[in-house]
A and B are shown apart, each in its own frame.
Chain A
Amino acid sequence: MAKSLFEEKLNSGKFIVTAEVGPQKGVDCSEMIHHIKLLKDKVDALNVTDHQSSVMRFPSLGGCLLVKELGGEPILQVTCRDRNRLALEADLLLAYSRGICNVLCLTGDSVDVGDHKEAKPVFDLDSVQLLRMIRTLESGKDMGGNDLKGAPQFCIGASVHPAADRIEPQLVKFEKKVAAGAQFFQTQGIYELDSLRRFMQYASQFDVKILAGIIVMASARMAQYMNENVPGVIVPQSVIDELASAEKGKGLQKGIEIAVRTIKAIKEQNLCHGVHIMAVGRESVVPEIIEAAGL
């Protein structure tokens, strides 16, 4: 029996589409609710980010509860930056109890890139250890070796960076994540297909699903800024140039165009198992992309 609806879809062989919503800073959830409503039926699952870029926001768990309440399939993003193992375990128990059964396990961005630079970085666990910890919970034990009264079951995933400038150490870690039980991977942003193709040639030996990360750029300036300031983002110069070639005020349109083109190519060439669309604050354009890409 599948652990979640999403897991069922993963195993169905269809081309998977996921997207993400970023919670707001504050308690007014109306925009996020709007985005969830907009996307929940157009995607196979919806990620909710966990203080992305170490900027404090409404929590991922809260966002996932909303997704669930609104009838969507949530993927809980969990980072190791802010909680030690006790807190992580407890949050996961809560998530499961509320029907949130998909978890994306991440190390988390450095505190230094966010808006609480003086906070204590926790990193009690890393992403590999987090994956293993979830499998431990599923076995009915916590990390202290104590019995659980009722064990959760999760469909778990992790991230991978096929376009990293030093790919070999990333692959070492990828294999560790696979060994730890990761079922699916949502990759860092993909802009050109060569690196993805090479990565898939290698990754196809493992029984995991790879969803190519698609970041929607709104302008060349944004691309450049992300290149310099957002961990894990490497936008090739050709893409920046293409964005810059757009008419004034049409940057986002160009970004959408690029995203659609990339997704289409991935799907046509059957490069990987699906895509994960990250609109970074412009969630409203995602339906347009999905439609244009023929998903």
Chain B
Amino acid sequence: MPASNFPVSRKASFDDSLMPPCQIACPLHMEIGEYVDLIAQGRVMEALQVIRSGNPFPAICAYVCTHPCEDTCRRGQVDHPIAIRALKRFAIEFGGDRMIQEEARTTYSEKVAVVGSGPAGLAAAYYLRKLGYPVTIFEAHSALGGMLRVGIPQYRLPREVLDIEVQRLTQMGVEIRTNTRVVSLDLLFELGYKAVFITVGAHQGLRLGIEGEESPGVVDGATFLREVNLGFQPSVGTSVAAVGGGNVAIDAARTALRLGAKEVKILYRRTRAEMPADPAEIEQALEEGVEICFLVAPIKITRENKRLRVTCIRFELGETDASGRPRPVPIQGSEFDMEFDTLITAIGQAPRIPEDFHLRIGKGSTIQVDPVTLLTNRPGVFAGGDAVTGPATVTQALAAGRQAAQRIDEYLRHKYPLPQKEKPPIAKDLLPKTIEVIRKAHRLEPERLAPQERVQGFRPIELIYDWQSAVDEARRCLRCGMGAEILFQDRCATCLNCLRVCPYHVPYLDENGTIQIPADQCQACGICVAECPAQAIVLRKPRDRRYIDEELHHVFSTAKQSGFRPLIVSFACQYGLFGTGTLSGLWKEAQASISIVPVLCVATVEPEHILRAFEMGAEGVFVAGCGEQCAREDTHFWVRQRVEKVRRALGQMGLEPERIQAFNVRVKEEDPVQRLHQFTEQIGQLYLAAVLAQEVKM
């Protein structure tokens, strides 16, 4: 077998893709592009592996992540962002996450104490255990989870999901001490712990600071949600107000609805545009019947006849304040009264750190730490999560936990804490001319429960994608960061082919006359790679992906091992019927002699690849795209060019040009199964004829 001529001078495992905006936005820097792409190929279990490698508790994130990735997703500049969180949930459910067992071995003797079992604590425990440390989690409540358990309503995060993830920590050998409130850090060190991670969260509700706030019937959001989540059924009456504009206010309002309140209002002193709560959550609350009173805040509460008379004042928006939002200015004389049975204050939360910890406390009652090492003022004591940042997201807390585990490891192993090396990021904005050419496709959302069904109880609202919807949604991904690059500048003859063939008009000549392919605009179609006459361009390669040449060799060597000869080689779009194997069941009798080489896009298949397949022994080759599903209009055009080129060459060496075919599957008039049958039959006859001719000669 001839050695590959492909000019690969890099190791196959080398990852030179760039960091896409979604990955940058994710506090955990998960490889979103990678797992979305795997889902698009129907490789859901592999997608789950990628997800799990970047997130200790992906099932939790699949429910509660605020998905900042989607906010920066560049598909949003074209039409709508990719539904990344929903896709992750799909991978969790269809990839068999529940079956996964975590294992860990103790390699170090230094014990680590984790104080608090919120997402930061759980993540720190998980990674420390993975690193080989004995870990103990101390939790004041009766069950692990922190805010995940006592803050987030069950309709947003089913408790069995949390339980499964927590169970894995036990499997890994993490020691768990619930109902144990740590009062002294000195004691922990006396007990032999060599490092302590403080992650006690921010559970203390901030006070409104108005008259009557101590009245019965007034409760802070954190306390209210904790009571509900711990199984108490507090009576809220029929009319409830939640004060604030964050997720806690929304959670409290929607929980109140589920507890039987008939009329639930949110009082917020700015407008919807300024609400920090997740827009989707706001939308869902409105659907369920929550009313939001904007530019309104209470200034006095009086209790009359077991009800609350709440005096409110109206606001107007003034100049921008330090937070970048317009400052609400009370309108004099606009006071008015409203009556409620219950008023829930949810204007923010702060940590409450026992004084005996002797930790330096900073702004907003948070623990002060070194931003790189997460060390507090006490040696061996690290802190992270809401206790350090104030109320933040679950994913941020998980990231803090992971960082803490690494820093604690460095501390215990006496390593110098180095910042992590990251892939270079790509620019955020797509150019209008690029956007114009990208085929538009609407975002597919998983189905949700109807609002009237939701408020009946605490069932999760969002359902899971069906397989095809998930694949279709994932295919919308623009594959940011995987674009083409001129790898061999010295070979580049500046012929401008790349500039001419690019459907997105991405390559350009800079002022020095050098061709540039800006990675931030490239859509990774690969046409220029196959059209470069100097073979100077390659696609950036994310880990584990093979170049077509390598894939071709792989196919032949595995076929050889299993003792069959591939008579037909197909270069098939990895998303199409052939590439994903979706069609496999339909051509059983032909299967034995067909080998599929999945490719990123059939437009990347070069004439040399096809010739090489013949050289390696194939009797026939077909190129199968994904038809109308393709992100581009002109893919088939390029396939035809290359197929014709090889056909001419075959013809010149006396081989039948029909040995190579281009299938445009999913085009309505073409039945892929029938075409395949015809083709296999044809190739079979040609092969037979050749064998007979050979025998006659002998």
Direct chain A–B contact by Cβ atoms under 8 Å? no
